Amino acid sequence: MADAAPYDQLIPGIGYEFHDVTNLFLEAASELEPDNVLFMENFTLQESMSAIEIGEPRLDSGIIVQEQLRPPFNPFAPLLPEEVCWILDRAVAYEMEFHAGNFLAHTVHTLLFVHHVREITPDVVDDYINQDDSARPIELITIVMRAAVAGILKCCDLTWRELSKGGVFDTEDWQSDKCEVSLLEGLPIPYILAQLDEAVEWLTQSTVPVRWKNALKARLQLRKTLLQVMSTDITRNRIEFQQLVFQAQNDLHTVQANPSPECEPDSPAQLAFDPYIGRRLQTATPIRVVPPPSFEETCKALKYLLDGLLEVGFLESFDNLSTWQLVGNLRLWDPDSPLRVPYLRSLTQSIFYDGTFILNKYPFDWVVDRFFSEGVGLTYGSIKAAVTARWCGPEAEPPLRKVERSLYKLIAPHVRALWHNPPRRRRHFMKALVEWHSLYDSLVHTVQNLEMEDLPPNNVLSRLPDIALSWRLSLVQEVVLSGFQLELYAPQEKPFSYWYTVQVIEAHLECLDRMSVVVQEGMHICLALLFISCPTDAFHSLQALCSALFLVTLPLISFDWAQVRANFYRRYKWAFRAEYDIFDTAVVAQPVLYDYMQTSGELIEDDKISLPSDYVMLAREILRGLVESNDTGGWAALWSRDSIEFLRRLLSVCDALQNLPHTEDEMNDFDVGRLKWDPAFHPWFPSVGPLEGRNP
């Protein structure tokens, strides 16, 4: 056998007539300044990027630069009680960032105790660790830290399970990548609750200073209650769930009263978090350092989570569609509070419809019955019997089965969509408009083929199509106005949006007027928009504000009608889908570009144009009367105050628009650039900024 080749000849490039050209490149680049790039023919940026070595820090998250070097983490390193408090607070801060939609690898998994939770058990540690520091008892690690981390992981597990049901969207609302790190999926909840109780008991009997003993016990108790809240089925144990949420709110107040001190840079507690832990996990996600919120911000986020859980507990007790729509709309239209975290939005959807029952107890027939009973005050059974008895159409029976199927397809997804993120919600409403018109068409066809000569003109049966039309028009209005909240409209699109909203509200008011004639006294129509006891007044105020904004934004109109037409059909393509052609009934309140162009041209040429300030004044008077009456109807229930607050915000819009032109001369001189649309101020309407060169 021949002798083995020398080691250096096994290195690639040696022994195959290759030559080392390193020095050649160094010599060629000796006069090249840093950050300079040489280009040659057919050598593009793509070829340049392909030539960069894999160890380039910007492309390779696995590389560790000098600034990121850390000493090895010792999970058994003794800690002071206040350091444990600081770690637990920071861990909760990262947990809130996970709820906000960040990756586990960038938030909860950065707590290194998460990866050693199975090791820091008393039975294992006591065998080979001998620690006599009374100020830093090892039980703070093996009992307190272990129980708290287990509670955090189990809460994340329950959150993950809820979010994975599909009510919210992975990679859009939340991130499902666990990086193959255990969230203690196999451990039963009672076992972890027992660990938390054991930790509280040890603290009670320990020699830890009273201040930090109380602070640690408060944090453990809050974690225990949070775990109990998340593991309680609201539909079966509503009272227990609400009591637990109240208890968690009290525990949070106790935690806020015992804040942890800021941890020193040289404290071993600082080593408990590694923002670059992702390079050691099974994940394809690039490293991103997520700065944890402050203690105050974390408590605020926790409070908002608990407030949302309490609202979910209350909402579960209401079995009418109007209240569910009310809450869903108010939460989106409130600029003062952020969008509910994905966990809350998913939980709300799961409670309303779990895939089998509505509110965990009603079949889909309940949806049909509520649709009609909240619309005209009659049950679906009585309406079905009357329609069947008076049917005289060419078909053997009325198309009520088609009506039922449409409602099955529409109502539950509609209510769930109220808790989607705003873009998803808007897209769902746009797609559902065709099916809503199909329902309207079926009801029109039904009414047209009923024998009703012996009935008064304004009878309940004649108004059945208006129930579906009312729902559809409210959705059209929401689709158009939500474009302002999502900041979708270019400046030249805003006049049409306000003008079209005025037309939709006008059609909606006519629909409500027809319905109000047949509704029994004391019944509340499902209004699907503002949900207050004086719908026509509220709609009139909204219509007046849209009219004012249409007039004042007239200078934004583009006279390149070819471009305007192209933009129009692009923006409102949802209104011109081919599916509408199969229906016999015309679509109500369609956007018509010609009418808009004609109206705009007449207003621009008219010397006596209406003043926007007049419409604002009208809206202010209407809203002031509604706010002072402080009456939202009995069905608004626990959200009456929120409904009044929504009207107050509309009233504040009127105040913000008080600088609109009051005379024709001011109208001609008004600078439309002073209008400032800011969703943080109001989702639909702008404020008027000061004149250039003047103080506010």
What is the reported pTM?
0.87
pLDDT at 566: 92
Are 125 and 76 in contact by the 8 Å Cβ rule? The answer is yes
What single string gives the DSSP state of each residue in 238-305? Answer: HHHHHHHHHHHHHHHHHHHHSPPPPPPTTSGGGGGB-TTGGGGSS--PPP---PPPPHHHHHHHHHHH
Residue-wise burial string across 264-288, b where 16 or more C-beta atoms lie within 10 A, e elsewhere = eeebbbeebbbbbbbeebebeeebe
The helix/strand/coil state of 206 is coil
Instruction: Indicate the pairing of strand 687-688 with strand 675-676.
Output: antiparallel
User: Phi/psi at 214 (nearest 5 deg)?
Assistant: -65, -40
User: Phi/psi at 452 (nearest 5 deg)?
Assistant: -130, 25
Integer CA distances (angstroms), 162 to 100, 207, 296, 417, in order:
15, 40, 27, 16
What single string gives the DSSP state of each residue in 588-652? Answer: TT---HHHHHHHHHHHHH-SSPPPHHHHHHHHHHHHHHHHHHT---GGGGGGHHHHHHHHHHHHH
Structure-block tokens of residue 395? 């078909």
- Element holding 693 (H helix, E strand): none
Structure-block tokens of residue 313? 């507990």
Integer CA distances (angstroms), 456 to 94, 380, 385, 446, 459, in order:
65, 20, 18, 18, 6
Point out the residues of the chain with pLDDT beneath 50: 1-15, 53-58, 521-534, 693-696
What single string gives the DSSP state of each residue in 147-196? Answer: HHHHHHHHHHHHHHHHHTTTTS-BTTTB----TT----TTS-HHHHHHHH
Integer CA distances (angstroms), 373 to 28, 382, 400, 460, in order:
84, 10, 16, 11
Exposed / middle / buried, residue 9 (Cβ in 10 Å: 0-12, 13-18, 19+): exposed
Are 497 and 545 in contact by the 8 Å Cβ rule? The answer is no
d(CA 340, CA 347): 11
The helix/strand/coil state of 350 is helix
d(CA 200, CA 219): 10
Question: Which one-letter DSSP state was computed for residue 361?
Answer: T
For the chain, first and last CA: distance in Å? 95
For 167-225, the pLDDT digits (tens) are 999 999 999 999 999 999 999 999 999 999 999 999 999 999 999 999 999 999 999 99
User: Phi/psi at 180 (nearest 5 deg)?
Assistant: 60, 30
d(CA 22, CA 325): 70
Are 548 and 613 in contact by the 8 Å Cβ rule? The answer is yes
Are 167 and 350 in contact by the 8 Å Cβ rule? The answer is yes
Q: Which of 258, 261, 269, 253 is nearest to 214 (CA)?
A: 258
Are 592 and 510 in contact by the 8 Å Cβ rule? The answer is no
d(CA 547, CA 615): 7
d(CA 530, CA 505): 12
pLDDT at 638: 83
